[in-house]
Structure 1
Amino acid sequence: MLIERLTWPLTIAHRGARSTAPENSLEAIATAIDAGSELIEIDVHLAADGSLVLCHDTTLSRTHGVGQPVATLTATAVKRWPIRSSARLGLTGWPDVETVTLNEVFARFAGAPVAWLIEAKYPANPTDAQLDAVGDAIVDHVFRWDLTKRAIVQSFNRRPGLRAIAARIPAGYIETAGGSDPVLLREQGFDFYGMRKDAPPARIQAAADADLLPLIYTINRRSERDAALEAGAAAIVTDDPLYLSDRAPGPDLYQLGTWPHGHLPSPVNPVTGVLAGGALELAPTRMETGVPENYTAAVLGSASHGTPPGSWTWDVRVALLEATSATRSAQIQICMDSDVGYHDDDHSRVDCYNILMRPNGALDLYAAADGSATRLATASGPPVPVGTSPVYVPLRIEVSPTHVSARRLDASGVVASAADARFRGGYVGVGVRSVRARFIPGGRA
């Protein structure tokens, strides 16, 4: 994929596709390519032997569990330690994978229909010579693999990018403070300007006015993507390119044993949960009866974010592992109009149906709309077991053109149903209020 043929606005795969595969690995890059990404961002450090090693941090501590600075090691030494997919990155179900060099990446993927956004990393307090050296090494690799029209060099320091510009390779500059003059960046030859997702719209527009393409980091919600594009972003850098590109099929029910495709924590209480044995376990930040820290939620995906289906069914099994009282709840949100994230204490965030399963056996169906929640239906059943050994209660969520209902599929047969047709399709999520719960998908039709 030539840079000049990229389709803007663009979704850029961050560190490969790090929400679904170990970051900066061959596996993450392959995942991003399979997701249809046109431009893949990767991070490289200059190792002690002159190799370029894929790694984001200055040390191997976070990703490998080894407190060694990358710049002091040869590529051979770095390869002694794999990327710890599950133990360090939380990608349950993934094996540890090999640390690779940029040369190995290009050896495997140089012929793939993608372009490369190569971020130059460097040690703490780098010298100008170190910054120039990593820039020159990237340029050398780009020329060696004949990728001059398919690569962009970027960094949080301008020097590596200036080395690329001198070699007539496109370059970008990234910053967090937003204090640079975009006109000056353009005069220096930069084409791209990386900004944080909280960059003011006026700053994004100023970059665009200076003929720079603003690349916004790191966005994993479609609602945030839409806001950034409206502000003038040229590209969205995301950990989950499949989800952000709108190509993810239906609700991804965490069956890959990782945290993929829309499994987004509530921004109010960003607890991502734990994946174990095919189940997603959520717990509030504090197990107590107060507010609001005892609530958390995750967006799972969407039944249809385009044309909603007239009818659909979703089966899920729910187990309560701990609860502060008999009236607190495990929750399921359906037909959400946005993936901004439902929150039990702030109904103005999103409109949806909210299903609450309580330890005392009550099954409640609410509609959250226009900033308030209204109970549409309630049903009483036998108490739900609470304990460290999961006892799953099967639920069936059904949406028809005229009704919405939640039914316990155990012997109780309890059902909460209402004639309500306000919300259809949309996003799906789960949450907990002063309980710890596990959710296992059954199926969807």
Structure 2
Amino acid sequence: MYARLAAVAAASLGAVAALLSGPAAQAGPAARPGPSAQAGPAARTGLAARAGEAPARSERPLVIAHRGASGGAPENTLAAVDLADRMGFDWVENDVQRTRDGELVVVHDETLARTTDVEERFPGRAPWRVGDFTAAEIATLDAGGWFGPRWAGERVPTLRRYLHRVERNGQRLLLEIKRPELHPGIERDTLRVLGEEGWLDRSHVARRLVVQSFGADSVRAVHRLRPDVITGFLGMPPVAELPSYAAFTDRINPAHTALTSAYVAEVHRLDGARGERLQVYTWTVNDAAGARRADGFGVDGIITDHPDVVRDAVG
């Protein structure tokens, strides 16, 4: 994407800086942090918090297809993305890791053993960690046969291929940076690929992309590099620590088993890093009773392997 001539090396460095600061960070209401975003964590409370009550949420929780519609197709494959699309779901979630040669691929586990035939293809390479294989090696693996014969031949997609498919389908992406401690610098790599594939323009950043991680430092890094990008922290920080998280994230995304309505209300009383109300996406809700319970707590999003079950449960 950058000029290759040594004579314009300085211009190339400028292009990198532009990608990470981004035109979207300069343009449009969704990209401009409000005064509260510059006032420090203790001051990041909305008008509703000062009035002693949480603001109203949207009428329905967002339903997000976990690793694609992974209850009906092999997780994190293009088949799972397409199934979510056929079922009518805009939002899909995925997991991103880095290969030995620096390619970003969409896979959940630290190893490839559970969801591919890597043990048969590379029997001497235990424990088959993602980061120990090249992208070309991973591209040869069957990532669907474990789920059922119908899916044999599905591949582990690169992040680029995954973005192309989500774009083709007109979908939106909740991207999880997986195990960032194993992949130093993966935040910058992820943003680079997103930018090169057109996912850091104004419309994508405002309406079609959220980047999340279990690693607080990883979420901080994404926010520092691209403060216009919506971020999410996977976990359930103590209520007393929520203001410090609000300094660098826009979503608090806990497991549904630990969630309460009181906790959701506390999150909603704060403004996030971009000056808008913090939201709650809970995971992984796979049955109607759990979906209704989460909905009753007032969550903003429900992440699920079975988006059709959740949709039917919450209306």
Shift of 1:209: 2.0
1:57 to 109, 113, 117: 109
Structure 1 contact 182–212 (Cα < 8 Å) conserved: no
Note if 1:28 corresponds to 2:80: yes
In the TM superposition, 1:14-413 aligns within 5 A as 14-65=66-117, 66=119, 67-85=127-145, 88-89=146-147, 91=148, 93-122=150-179, 126=181, 130-131=183-184, 133-148=185-200, 149=205, 150-166=208-224, 167=226, 168-175=228-235, 178-179=237-238, 181-188=241-248, 190-201=249-260, 202-210=262-270, 211-246=277-312
CA displacement, residues 202-241 of structure 1 (integer Å, 9 cap, x when unaligned): 2222222223211111011122111111112110000011
3-state DSSP class of the match of 1:236? strand
In the TM superposition, what is the alpha-carbon distance from 1:44 to its structure 2 partner? Answer: 0.8
* AA aligned opposite 2:254: M
* Conserved 8 A contact 1:110-1:145: no
> Residue 16 of structure 1: CA displacement?
0.4
Whole-angstrom distance in 2 between the partners of 1:95 and 1:172: 33
Whether the 8 Å CA contact 2:78–2:162 is kept in 1: the answer is yes
The within-5 A match list for 1:7-18 is 9-18=61-70
Q: CA deviation at 1:80?
A: 2.1
**Number of equivalent positions:** 235
Q: Pick 1 or 2: higher relative contact order, CA cutoff 8 A, min separation 6.
A: 2
Q: Is the 8 A contact 1:217 1:237 kept in 2?
A: yes
SS of the equivalent of 1:110 reads: helix
Task: Report the TM-score, using the length of structure 2 for normalisation.
Answer: 0.69
The residue number in structure 1 matching 2:38 is: none
The answer to whether the 8 Å contact 1:46/1:122 transfers is: no
Q: Using the alignment, how far apart are the partners of 1:114 and 1:134 within structure 2?
A: 24
- Between the aligned partners of 2:91 and 2:295, the Cα distance in structure 1 is 17
Work out whether residues 97 and 107 of structure 2, in 8 Å CA contact, stay in contact via their aligned partners in 1: yes
Secondary structure at the aligned position of 2:212 is classed as strand
SS in 1 for 2:243: helix
**Contact 2:176–2:211 (CA<8 Å) still a contact in 1?**
yes
CA contact (8 A) 2:174 2:211 kept: yes
Letter in 2 for 1:158: A
Deviations 1:161-213 (A, max 9, x none): 223222121111102x644722211122x111111011231222222222321
- The residue type equivalent to 1:160 in the other structure is S
Could you tell me how far 1:92 is from its partner in structure 2? 5.8
| Percent identity for Structure 1 against Structure 2 | 26
* Aligned 8 A contact 1:142 1:151 in 2: no
Q: Which residue of 1 aligns with 2:18?
A: none
Q: Distance in 1 between matches of 2:245 and 2:299?
A: 17
Q: Give the direction of change, closer, same or farther, for the CA distance of 1:8–1:158 in structure 2 (3 Å limit).
A: farther
Return the structure number with greater helix share.
Answer: 2
| Displacement of 1:7 | 8.3
Q: Which secondary structure state, in structure 2, belongs to the residue aligned with residue 36 of structure 1?
A: coil
Root mean square deviation, CA, Å: 2.4
State the TM-score, normalized to the length of structure 1: 0.49
| Number of the residue aligned with 2:40 | none
Q: 1 CA distance for matches of 2:110 and 2:97?
A: 8
CA deviation after TM superposition for structure 1 residue 21, in Å: 0.4
Structure 1: runs of 5+ lacking an equivalent: 248-304, 307-445
| Secondary structure in 2 matching 1:118 | strand
